Amino acid sequence: MLIVQKYGGTSVADIERIKAVAERVAKTVEAGNQVVVVVSAMAGETDKLIELAHQVNPSPGEREMDLLLSSGERVTSALTAMAIQALGYKAIALTGRQMGIVTDSVHTKAKIERITGERAFQALKDGYVVVVAGFQGVTEEGEDVTTLGRGGSDLTAVAIAWALNADLCEIYTDVEGVFTTDPNIVPEARKLQRISYEEMLELASSGAKVLQTRSVELAMKYNVPLVVRSSFNDKPGTYVCKEDKEMEKVMVSGVAYDKNQVKITILKVPDRPGIAARLFKQIADANIVVDMIVQNISSDGQSTDISFTVPKTDRERAVEIAQRVSSELGAGGVVVDENIAKVSIVGVGMKTHSGVAAKMFETLAEHGINIMMISTSEIKVSCVINDKYTELAVRALHEAFNLKEG
């Protein structure tokens, strides 16, 4: 088999962990497999580099930011290849460019356009373990380094698994798989043996940090078989795969939460067609991803309040755009609420079970938790609440949908 193994920051946090990764790779080779390893930066490195950048410049150039941030994964890829070499195996470290990971040129948030992978193909044929620096690529002309955004190494791994037509993509992390919810909040949270791409996608985009959203999208699109498992032990982990009959019997598979958003409201927007389009086009042009949007008729009946949520990191730029649009439209100004959390329930079973959303609202109401925004998809219901109720809401929903039983 050709296996892609991705090791996250905690799995390569220090020399001992890197040696443990090398041992696992060696074992996988000994079992008769070809292995491509994708590594993140050592835990804390990327944050350290971001901190340094902000110390020299409050708004550093994004091109230079990518050059800076890409160095962490390069270091780990070199060290990991050396550690594998030390065990007597042939290993070659490849940067994003050397792997042929071509992206668009949206620095710090680049999208992979294609992977040529010629050197990797050749190296695998020659009996090498290929160790790829995650999180990075190059622009079309091959000149500038780009990075793929937070969690980008997951995306690198899935994209490589797809490009090389790998049999399996293993995502190694510091948890044992995908849980029904965050075990730090609910100790009875249960590890799922299997979960569908769709559910995983909804969980990831609802704040579950185990896999990066775009990597799940890509895996789903190209049907790349994924396993999420721990690099600290040999337990089997959680398979992420196509939905099957068994999964549909379960109403809700997991509860996720996200404290990393802010709610921005433009007050008293004149109620004319095209206003929302104007606002959200400008926000999209700034490469800010809006999560939830709610529009209410204002008390005066002549205007509406438009609320939306964006990641906290984009707060400053999003507010700036909202304020500009507000004054252009003669609206009533912009209000920002930082103390929000999004709580979500996810499950393919929702397609066939009715009343799931109602049960969620009831459960929150029973605990005196006010719902500020609601959004739903075929297999997900999300509610924005005051963030002080996050843990309470997660526990209550985990209990109400009986998730510890499985």
Q: Which residues bind a copy of itself (CB under 8 A)?
A: 15, 18-19, 22, 49, 52-53, 55-58, 60-61, 63-65, 67-68, 70-71, 74-75, 77-79, 81-83, 85-86, 91-93, 95, 98, 119, 143-145
Smallest gap from Cβ 44 to a copy of itself, in A, equals 14
| Whole-number Cα distances in Å, 15 to 78, 83, 324, 340 | 12, 9, 50, 39
For 166, phi then psi, to 5°, come to -70, 155
Query: Residues 171, 6: contact at Cβ < 8 Å?
Result: yes
Alpha-carbon distance 341 to 390, whole Å?
6
Q: Pick the closer one to a copy of itself by CB: 144 or 174.
A: 144
Q: Pick the closer one to a copy of itself by CB: 22 or 283.
A: 22
Q: Pick the closer one to a copy of itself by CB: 67 or 106.
A: 67
Query: Largest Cα–Cα distance of the chain, in whole Å?
Result: 75
Q: Which two tokens stand for residue 404?
A: 């510890």
Smallest gap from Cβ 55 to a copy of itself, in A, equals 5
Q: Pick the closer one to a copy of itself by CB: 65 or 373.
A: 65
Q: Where does residue 245 rank: exposed (0-12), middle (13-18), buried (19+ CB within 10 A)? A: exposed
Q: Which two tokens stand for residue 365?
A: 């109401």
Q: Pick the closer one to a copy of itself by CB: 83 or 364.
A: 83
Smallest gap from Cβ 72 to a copy of itself, in A, equals 8
Taking Cα atoms as reference points, which of 217, 134, 226, 220 lies closest to residue 178? 226
Q: Pick the closer one to a copy of itself by CB: 76 or 253.
A: 76
Smallest gap from Cβ 310 to a copy of itself, in A, equals 25
Smallest gap from Cβ 110 to a copy of itself, in A, equals 16
Q: Pick the closer one to a copy of itself by CB: 18 or 318.
A: 18
Q: Which two tokens stand for residue 248?
A: 């549909």
| Whole-number Cα distances in Å, 195 to 116, 133, 153, 175, 264 | 30, 28, 21, 16, 33
- Residues in the chain, overall count: 406
DSSP letters, 286-336, are: TTPPP--EEEEE-TTSSEEEEEEEEEGGGHHHHHHHHHHHHHHHT---EEE
Smallest gap from Cβ 249 to a copy of itself, in A, equals 48
Q: Pick the closer one to a copy of itself by CB: 147 or 205.
A: 147
Cβ neighbour number for residue 392 with a 10 Å cutoff: 16
Smallest gap from Cβ 25 to a copy of itself, in A, equals 13
Q: Pick the closer one to a copy of itself by CB: 53 or 357.
A: 53
Alpha-carbon distance 41 to 62, whole Å?
19
Smallest gap from Cβ 18 to a copy of itself, in A, equals 6
Smallest gap from Cβ 28 to a copy of itself, in A, equals 18
